[in-house]
């Protein structure tokens, strides 16, 4: 029985900050951001948006009535949770109008969380082949204004439906995982922004990549020529390019040319949005599917998932004949091109208005035309609206 990704959808803010504008405001050479980290724009999340509303928007793009009837598990991966006890998945299931006789959980392991959710969903479908699982990777990446990590912020949500006989990708069984207790990135309880040792984390990322790549090679003997594309967790797109270059050190010209070409397709959406934390790897996958002119059914795709702290996994999947149908015809470039640019001052103002640990507040959502909204908080209870 084939199990894998049946559909995939993406949502982000309707606002963005141009990285050239941010560079000028921070007295930096724009090429430090455009080339040095490989980012063009950064999603700016409104205070009336959070991981729940963005996840609902992403899922709404792909869920049909048949899916609603078959989804029996919602797994929400995030490190931007809205409650220390109540999982975001139960808010999401309610907003989407899913049936009540289902399981809903939230899971966390930095940017790796959505991959853990994907593997958990695969095992569940193996035992329940008539069921589907809704997997979410959603985050609001916040490092702080005028911090070193500021240009690697962003946000959005990826939604994936996992099931048998998938339209997009069949997950192969062999995977390689690696975990080690390190402090390269963390967000202590009570902190609304992450703490990171950027240089150290970049080195750990590459070390973990080498470990799981070598292990996967031992398990499968898949060589570079066996891959149609290699995808990476992209906290910023230059990081994935560094990982690819590490793998391609002894590659043939043909393999190197092909895999770099596909990587460029796979990072186009990430360049436009910034860091999605849990969703970044899967946004890159969506970008590949939408933008590549040469990827085809039957191609093997390699995925490197990394979450600080740290956990990594390398896994593979086979692209299916109907993979375009799993995108449900949504025009993501039109969505991204319709976004509104904000100034650095406007971005800073919106950044500071996000609510954390507030007992009561009414939010002004009149300018937010999104389908799902955070309207306010009353007695620490979040109030969501759908249109």
Binding residues for (3S)-3-hydroxy-3-methylglutaryl-CoA: 29, 143, 242, 275
Catalytic residue among 28, 69, 79, 150: 79
Asked if omega into 310 is within 30° of 0 (cis), the reply is: yes
- 64, 191, 233, 359: the catalytic one is 233
Of 182, 179, 234, the residue nearest 212 (C-alpha): 179
What is the number of alpha carbons within 13 Å of residue 123 lying toward its C-beta? 6
Active site residue: 66, 106, 111, 174, which one? Answer: 111
CA 47 to chain centre: 20
**Alpha helices per DSSP H over 5-150:** 19-25, 30-31, 51-60, 65-70, 88-96, 113-127
Are the C-beta atoms of 109 and 307 separated by less than 8 Å?
yes
Binding site, annotated residues: 29, 143, 242, 275
**Residue 246 CB neighbour total at 10 angstroms:** 14
The answer to whether the CB of 176 falls within 8 A of the CB of 313 is yes
In SS3 terms, 158-174 reads as: EEEEEEECCCCEEECCC
Closest listed residue to residue 138, CA positions, set 223, 68, 80, 212: 80
Q: Is 79 a catalytic residue?
A: yes
Supply the residues annotated as catalytic.
79, 111, 233
């Amino acid at each position: 029985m084939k199990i894998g990704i049946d559909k995939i959808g993406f949502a982000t803010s309707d606002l963005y900050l141009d990285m050239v504008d941010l560079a000028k405001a921070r007295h930096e050479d724009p090429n430090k951001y455009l080339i040095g980290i490989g980012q063009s724009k950064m999603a700016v999340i409104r205070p009336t948006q959070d991981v729940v509303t963005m996840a609902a928007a992403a899922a709404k793009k792909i869920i049909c009535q048949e899916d609603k009837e078959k989804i029996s598990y919602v797994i929400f991966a995030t490190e931007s949770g809205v409650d220390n006890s109540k999982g975001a998945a139960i808010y999401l299931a309610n907003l989407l109008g899913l049936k009540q006789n289902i399981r809903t959980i939230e899971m966390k392991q930095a940017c790796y969380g959505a991959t853990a959710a994907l593997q958990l969903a695969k095992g569940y479908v193996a035992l329940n082949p008539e069921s589907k699982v809704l997997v979410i990777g959603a985050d609001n990446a916040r490092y702080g204004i005028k911090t070193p990590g500021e240009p690697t912020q962003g946000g959005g949500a990826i939604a994936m439906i996992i099931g048998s006989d998938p339209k997009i990708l069949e997950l192969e069984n062999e995977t390689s995982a690696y975990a080690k207790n390190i402090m390269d990135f963390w967000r202590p309880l009570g902190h609304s922004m992450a703490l990171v040792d950027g240089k150290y984390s970049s080195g750990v990322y590459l070390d973990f990549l080498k470990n799981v790549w070598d292990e996967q090679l031992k398990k499968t003997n898949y060589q570079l020529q066996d891959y149609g594309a290699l995808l990476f967790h992209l906290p910023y797109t230059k990081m994935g390019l560094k990982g690819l270059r590490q793998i391609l050190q002894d590659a043939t010209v043909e393999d190197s040319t092909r895999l770099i070409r596909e990587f460029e397709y796979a990072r186009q959406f990430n360049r436009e949005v910034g860091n999605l934390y849990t969703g970044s790897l899967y946004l890159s996958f969506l970008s590949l599917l939408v933008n590549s002119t040469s990827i085809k059914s039957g191609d093997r795709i390699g995925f490197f998932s990394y979450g600080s702290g740290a956990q990594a996994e390398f896994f593979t999947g086979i692209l299916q004949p109907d993979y375009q149908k799993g995108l449900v015809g949504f025009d993501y470039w039109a969505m991204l091109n319709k976004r509104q640019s904000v100034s650095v001052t406007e971005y800073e103002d919106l950044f500071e208005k996000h609510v954390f640990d507030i007992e009561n507040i009414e939010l002004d959502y009149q300018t937010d035309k999104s389908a799902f909204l955070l309207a306010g908080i009353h007695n620490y209870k979040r109030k969501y609206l759908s249109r």
